[in-house]
Amino acid sequence: MSDTNSISSTLTAEQETAAARGPLRIAIVGCGSITEGAHLPAILASPEVLLVGLGDTSESRLRSLKEEFCPDVPGFRDYKELFDKVDAVVLALPNFLHAPVGTEFLKRGISVLCEKPLSVRREESVQLCAAAKSGGSVLAVGFVTRFFPSTLLTHHLLETGFLGNLQSFDYEFGTAGGWETASGYNLSRETSAGGVLAISGSHFLDRMLFLFGDVDVVRFLDDSRGGLEANCKAEFLATFDGRRLPGTITLSKTHRLSNRLRIVGEKGVITVAEGQSLSVTFFPSGSDLREEIFPASIIPGTPEQDYFRLQLEDFVRAIKECSEPHVSGEQGLKSAALMEECYARAERLDEPWCDATMQYFRRALPPQ
Amino acid sequence: MTETASSKQIRRVLVTGASGFIGGRLCEVMAITGTYTPRAFIHSTASAARITRFPIEFSIGDLRDSASVDRAVEGCDAIVHLARGEGSVMRAGLENLLRAAVLHKVSRFVHMSTVAVYGNMPPPESITEDSPIRHCDNLYGREKLGQEKRVLKYARNHGLPAVILRPPNVWGPYSHFSLEMIQKISKGTLALVSNGQNPCNLVHVDNLVEAILLSLWKPEAVNEVFFVTDDPVISWKQCLEDQAALVNTHLPGVAEEDLVVPAAERVWRESFKVVPRVFVSGEFRQQLRRIPLLRIVEEKLFAGFQSLSAETQHSLRSRLTGGNTAVLVRPATAPRFVRNGLHFTQMRRVAHSSEKARRLLGYTAPVKYAEGMANLQAWLRFARHLTS
């Protein structure tokens, strides 16, 4: 792992004090839906952190979250007011603000847990990693599915050759509709910086790099017409265990897909359904059997953990121990670079139902 | 209509319900053809993926909130109102929109209504839009009829240049109606009623969009109501058999009279049948006579009944008690199809005509059935609604 995000030699006096003091002083910048549904409950449930502020430009959003969760926590409409009050922040802003705002915190020695994706541009991610290095702060990226036992188990099974030689992988995720955002940032390229690939697909791009190592983009097709793609298909080529491994990703925000990862190897097929966080499913070659595989540490039927809290506490651990978080800025940079390459190579997805009848409408328009 | 309104070049168009099926297609067409600039009025950011593919303008709001409606309408030259929702959206929401349309002097207000304003069984004369609406027994149709009246009131009282379009079932890619047919046929819960001989009133979404685009600028459209349908009109037999072929499924048939009355309707019907029997029964009257006031009324009524001839008494008693009606029991193994939804719709005998839209708007219904089916099939495969 690169040392871009290493903090061992540059721990500030302020951080040393923070580490010794006990609970870390933390704030959330950006009070949208993910904060309300995940980050705020995780912070309030964890003894490792002390929530000292909520930041958002919307007064009504601040008021609403404070009333619901934490009436005594002060709200800030300008994130700069938090600079001297916190050791760390959870950055849950629209994607286009990750780099400019995150950099401001990191270079001041304030650690950042940045919502995914770190950015959709390599350059911005490099800027964030550099700011973390110069400020001696931790940069973690909120790819929460990496904390699923099923992700770690899949990685382990691949690394130990459970499937034999790998032949292919494919991942699909599609829903009729997307994420309801409080700010509406997901409506335009300027604020979202990407469509279904950036919003839904970035989780898997990160997991793909984690599972198979570096990959090349072979082809990327999407249905963007100058806006945000709602559907896309990507072909990749990885090199795993010295062999070429082709893979595909299909994503949709207009319709449901099979919503699972499938890895085909010579000894069988592994599938991990979306949301299947504790186990993986194995179909041995030449057999009708289907086996659920759990990590030894998990007893089937065990209730789900709060993965956002695990992610948060891993972030705190990295700050206190001056070590790497589970998903570092450097890893976030890799998936950002991959996303950027996909968009740079985008070809138009064929949509005859959209274009075939377009000729007829000219006659229905007013004479110019 | 004012001079300014008629002569003004329409550019920016507010589309309500823009993330819906018709609104989504309208925004697509406007964005691609480029003559109109759509401003998409949406209630939720979660369902707008189809139109965020285009770099168009969005306005997030609630039709029931007059301030957000006002912001959305400001700067628009015309409005296409496609949004629907609960009663408050249909009434207060429309009122807010109409008020803002007048305030901001929009040049055209295109309102989407429905042929359902004529009720579940449209009268034979409803081939044309001029035929009067006497009674609407369809809840959605009744709501839309109320909306039509509200729009026409603003046209009359405030000079709002309004156009009302009445489509039948709208089909094509992303259509809930098309998906409902396919899903029900696949599950075996949809049958062809009486060999599908009745006309299937349909309009392809692109044909409806053609009518909307024409309504936005044609002077002849103002303050008119138009049916917008496909041409030629196909039969239910063709429509449903073609959908069944898409999913490689046999389509069962059922006669109108063999359709099972829906449970809710059956409860009402049976209750109405039983109530008179209860009222004339000796036990019930005996209980009533315990109340002094009701005893006087009952005695007077009974005396009146006794004064009638024996035949009249017998006939009246038979009518009230239902006589000895035989109950038909059908074999339990026969498939049972309920007389509601798409089965009920197949019983309509009228084919609404879009002749007026052709004459005044220049509507051409350019997408013919075969072409529409080819596009629908391509989309159904892409969206994984068809597996083979």
- CA dist B292 → A189, B283, B286 (Å): 80, 16, 12
Per-residue pLDDT of chain B (388 residues; tens, 9 = 90+): 443 344 468 899 999 999 999 999 999 999 999 999 999 999 999 999 999 999 999 999 999 999 999 999 999 999 999 999 999 999 999 999 999 999 999 999 999 999 999 998 999 999 999 999 988 888 999 999 999 999 999 999 999 999 999 999 999 999 999 999 999 999 999 999 999 999 999 999 999 999 999 999 999 999 999 999 999 999 999 999 999 999 999 999 999 888 888 777 666 766 777 777 777 677 777 777 778 788 778 777 777 777 776 667 767 766 666 554 444 444 445 568 888 889 989 999 999 999 999 999 999 999 999 999 999 999 999 999 998 6
Burial A187-221 (b: 16+ CB within 10 A, else e): bbbebbbbbbbbbbbbbbbbbbbbbbeebebeebb
Pairing relation of β-strands A260-265 and A166-174?
antiparallel
C-alpha angle A144-A147-A152 in degrees, rounded to nearest 5: 135
- CA dist B293 → A52, A59, B282, B285, B302 (Å): 75, 67, 18, 13, 15
- CA dist A76 → A101, A115, A203, B32 (Å): 14, 19, 30, 42
pLDDT at residue A13, rounded to an integer:
53
Phi then psi dihedrals of residue A123, to 5 deg: -60, -45
pLDDT at residue B185, rounded to an integer:
95
- For residue A195, the chain B residues in CB contact (below 8 A) are 49, 52-53
Write down the ipTM of this complex.
Answer: 0.86
Pairing relation of β-strands B37-42 and B57-60?
parallel
Look at residues A24, A90, A25 and name the one whose alpha carbon lies nearest to residue A56: A90
The verdict on a CB contact (< 8 Å) between A366 and B10 is yes
> Which three-class secondary structure state does DSSP give residue B315?
helix
Most B CBs within 10 Å: which of A34, A187, A188, as the mutation test of the B interface? A187
* A259-302 confidence digits (pLDDT tens): 999 999 999 999 999 999 999 999 999 999 999 999 998 887 77
**Beta bridge mates, B338:** B260
The verdict on a CB contact (< 8 Å) between A358 and B33 is yes
Our CA-based measurement puts residue B196 at a distance from the nearest CA of chain A, in whole angstroms, of 28
- Residue A30 CB contacts under 8 Å (≥ 6 apart), including other chains: A55, A56, A91, A92, A93, A94, A97, A115
Our CA-based measurement puts residue B5 at a distance from the nearest CA of chain A, in whole angstroms, of 15
* A294-306 confidence digits (pLDDT tens): 999 888 777 889 9
The overall average pLDDT reported for chain A is 92
* A173-191 confidence digits (pLDDT tens): 999 987 787 778 889 888 8
Our CA-based measurement puts residue B41 at a distance from the nearest CA of chain A, in whole angstroms, of 12
* A230-260 confidence digits (pLDDT tens): 999 999 999 999 999 999 999 999 999 999 9
- Please give the sequence-ordered ranges of beta strands (E in DSSP) within chain B, or none if there are none: 12-16, 37-42, 57-60, 78-81, 108-112, 162-166, 169-171, 192-193, 199-200, 202-204, 224-227, 234-235, 253-254
> Which three-class secondary structure state does DSSP give residue B166?
strand
Tell me the angle at which helices A149-159 and A202-212 cross, rounded to the nearest 10 degrees: 30
Which amino acid appears at position B76 of this protein?
A: C
Burial class (CB in 10 A: 0-12, 13-18, 19+), B71: middle
Per-residue tokens: A178 = 């997307």
Name which of B58, B173, B214 is nearest A187 (Cβ-Cβ): B58
Question: Considering only alpha carbons, which residue of chain A is nearest residue B378?
Answer: A353
pLDDT at residue A9, rounded to an integer:
37
Domain spans in chain A, listed from the N-terminal domain onward:
13-144+311-329, 146-303+338-348
Q: B259 and B337 in contact (C-beta within 8 Å)?
A: yes
Question: Considering only alpha carbons, which residue of chain B is nearest residue A362?
Answer: B33
In terms of pTM, does the model score above 0.80?
yes
Name which of A181, A356, A364 is nearest B375 (Cβ-Cβ): A356
The verdict on a CB contact (< 8 Å) between A188 and B58 is yes
Confidence of residue A73 (pLDDT cuts 50, 70, 90): very high
Look at residues B130, B138, B202 and name the one whose alpha carbon lies nearest to residue B164: B130
Whether A41 contacts chain B with CB within 8 A: no
Question: Considering only alpha carbons, which residue of chain B is nearest residue A257?
Answer: B384
pLDDT at residue A21, rounded to an integer:
59
Name which of A195, A364, A368 is nearest B213 (Cβ-Cβ): A364
Q: A217 and A345 in contact (C-beta within 8 Å)?
A: yes
Whether A47 contacts chain B with CB within 8 A: no
> Which three-class secondary structure state does DSSP give residue B128?
coil
Per-residue tokens: B260 = 């099972």
Q: What is the Cα–Cα distance from A215 to A237, expressed in whole angstroms?
A: 5
Q: B88 and B63 in contact (C-beta within 8 Å)?
A: no
- CA dist A145 → A168, A174, A208, B127 (Å): 21, 17, 12, 58
Name which of B44, B46, B55 is nearest A189 (Cβ-Cβ): B55
Look at residues B158, B172, B141, B175 and name the one whose alpha carbon lies nearest to residue B223: B158
Rg (CA), chain B: 26
pLDDT at residue B4, rounded to an integer:
38
- For residue B228, the chain A residues in CB contact (below 8 A) are none
Look at residues A365, A307, A178 and name the one whose alpha carbon lies nearest to residue B50: A178
**Beta bridge mates, B225:** B164
What domains can be seen in chain B, in order of their start residue?
A: 3-175+199-232+349-378 (3.40.50.720), 263-321 (no CATH)
Confidence of residue A7 (pLDDT cuts 50, 70, 90): very low
The verdict on a CB contact (< 8 Å) between B378 and A352 is yes
* A45-56 confidence digits (pLDDT tens): 999 999 999 999
Q: A28 and A40 in contact (C-beta within 8 Å)?
A: yes
Question: Of A112-116, A154-158, A182-186, where does mean pLDDT reach its minimum?
Answer: A182-186
- Residue A187 is given by DSSP the state G
- For residue B366, the chain A residues in CB contact (below 8 A) are 357, 360, 363
> What CATH number should be reported for the domain whose range is A146-303+338-348?
3.30.360.10
Name which of A177, A179, A256 is nearest B384 (Cβ-Cβ): A256
Our CA-based measurement puts residue B44 at a distance from the nearest CA of chain A, in whole angstroms, of 7
> What are all long-range contacts of B121-124, with beta carbons under 8 Å and residues at least 24 apart?
B121/B347, B121/B348, B122/B348, B122/B350, B122/B352, B123/B350, B124/B349, B124/B350
Burial class (CB in 10 A: 0-12, 13-18, 19+), B12: middle
Q: What is the Cα–Cα distance from B317 to B307, expressed in whole angstroms?
A: 14
Q: What is the Cα–Cα distance from B207 to B197, expressed in whole angstroms?
A: 24
Per-residue tokens: B117 = 């304003």
CATH value of A13-144+311-329 in 3.30.200.20, 3.40.50.2300, 1.10.10.60, 3.40.50.720? 3.40.50.720
Per-residue tokens: B13 = 């168009």
Our CA-based measurement puts residue A235 at a distance from the nearest CA of chain B, in whole angstroms, of 18
Look at residues B192, B140, B169, B186 and name the one whose alpha carbon lies nearest to residue B346: B192
pLDDT at residue B72, rounded to an integer:
98
Whether A172 contacts chain B with CB within 8 A: no
Our CA-based measurement puts residue A221 at a distance from the nearest CA of chain B, in whole angstroms, of 13
pLDDT at residue A325, rounded to an integer:
98
- Residue A261 is given by DSSP the state E
